[in-house]
Amino acid sequence: MPQITVDYSSVLTDGFDRAGFARALHEEVVRTAAAKPEACKTQFRATEGTTVGPDVTGHAIVHVSLGLLAGRTDETKVTLTENVLGLLREYVKVGEGLALHASAEVRDLDPSYRKFDA
């Protein structure tokens, strides 16, 4: 915990400082949601074929999903989400003629969540 997944349009690959974003994101999750630094895990998944409305070109999407153990207030979740969007503004550079659609959500992990480290 936390389990973080970042889905992003592959056209952003060159302009998305993923390592820098992950470091800053982990620091933010520790500061805002009281997570332990060593528990922060982020996966990046590039996606193809972004479509927004009727347009199949000219758009890029980044969506950050953060799964936390239950117990954070709604206010904490909203603050974290807003701060994540701020980090995306800093770490994603969009090419000319490309519209960026960025979003983030914080959700509680299901009570069945378990993990192991090997």
Give the pLDDT confidence of 54-106 residue by residue, as tens digits. 877 899 999 999 999 999 999 999 999 999 999 999 999 998 889 999 999 99
CB of 99 within 8 A of CB of 62? no
| Domains, the chain, ordered by start | 3-108 (3.30.429.10)
3-state secondary structure labels for all residues of 34-53: CCCHHHCEEEEEEECCCCEC
Q: What is the pTM of this model?
A: 0.94
Distance of CA 104 to the CA centre of its chain: 6
Sorted by sequence, the CB contacts under 8 Å of residue 4 that are 6+ apart come out as 25, 29, 40, 41, 42, 43, 64, 65, 66, 67
Give the pLDDT confidence of 6-63 residue by residue, as tens digits. 999 999 999 999 999 999 999 999 999 999 999 999 999 999 988 888 877 899 999 9
